[in-house]
């Protein structure tokens, strides 16, 4: 299933599904014509409120937290997150305080905490479903490892492109790579 997820596959109608995020927060393998949705109607509002209840956050931090929850397989768009934050503010569930530069820091209000408390069963069910969906799609490499490998590859390529390396530099780079490989094997 993971290989299909990574390669994508064609549906009977000829379009390609990659197993990643689709329109309207849908992702995953289709089931009898339907894709599994990351969130049901209204769930994202509750997820965002819970995240800012855990700690005040910027919109970007909320997007990253949700992306990490899904192992990098789903990331809500800013076009969905920021209007939801505005809605929470309009409902009196969140307040905005100035952050670094032009960033807004969202913090939960007393009314927001009361809403979460009153809807604890729903909040727990949403996060349980998110955890189940996340586990199904965590068969691939962790996004943190993929990012680190890409950073390594880029750094090595850029260094090599800068010009010829002296023998000492070649030895130092090879030693660093060998040390990293040994450390990975031991982990």
Predicted local confidence at residue 143, as pLDDT: 64
Phi, psi (deg, nearest 5) at residue 100: -65, 130
Return d(Cα 70, Cα 115) in angstroms, integer: 25
pLDDT of residue 64: 92
From first to last of the 187 residues of the chain, give the pLDDT tens digit.
333 323 333 333 333 333 333 333 444 433 344 444 567 778 899 999 999 999 999 999 999 999 888 777 778 889 999 999 999 999 999 999 876 777 889 999 999 999 999 999 999 999 888 887 777 666 666 667 777 888 888 888 888 889 999 999 999 999 999 999 999 889 8
What pLDDT is recorded for position 75?
82
Angle between helices 120-136 and 43-54 (to 10 degrees): 100
- Residue 38: its pLDDT value, please? 62
Indicate the pTM of the whole model.
Answer: 0.55
Q: How many CB atoms are located within 10 Å of the residue 67 CB? A: 16
3-state secondary structure of 109: coil
Fold for 43-136, please state it: Arc Repressor Mutant, subunit A (1.10.10)
Report domain extents, the chain.
2-37, 43-136, 143-186
- What b/e string do you get for 150-186 counting C-beta neighbours within 10 Å, with b at 16 or more? eeeeeeeeeeeeeeeeeeeeeeeeeeeeeeeeeeeee
Residue 109, pLDDT score? 97
């Amino acid at each position: 299933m993971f290989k299909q997820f990574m390669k994508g596959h064609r549906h009977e109608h000829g379009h390609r599904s990659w197993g990643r995020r689709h329109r309207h927060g849908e992702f995953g393998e289709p089931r009898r014509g339907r894709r599994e949705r990351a969130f049901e109607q209204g769930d994202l509002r509750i997820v965002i409120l819970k995240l800012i209840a855990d700690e005040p956050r910027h919109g970007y931090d909320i997007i990253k937290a949700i992306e990490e929850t899904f192992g990098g397989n789903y990331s809500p768009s800013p076009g969905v997150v920021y209007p939801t934050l505005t809605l929470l503010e309009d409902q009196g569930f969140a307040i905005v305080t100035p952050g670094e530069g032009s960033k807004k820091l969202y913090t939960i209000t007393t009314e927001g905490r009361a809403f979460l408390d009153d809807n604890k069963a729903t909040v727990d069910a949403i996060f349980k479903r998110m955890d189940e969906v996340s586990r199904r799609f965590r068969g691939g490499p962790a996004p943190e490892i993929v990012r680190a490998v890409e950073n390594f590859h880029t750094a090595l390529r850029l260094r090599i492109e800068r010009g010829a390396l002296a023998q000492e530099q070649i030895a130092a780079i090879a030693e660093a790579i060998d040390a990293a490989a040994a450390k990975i094997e031991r982990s």
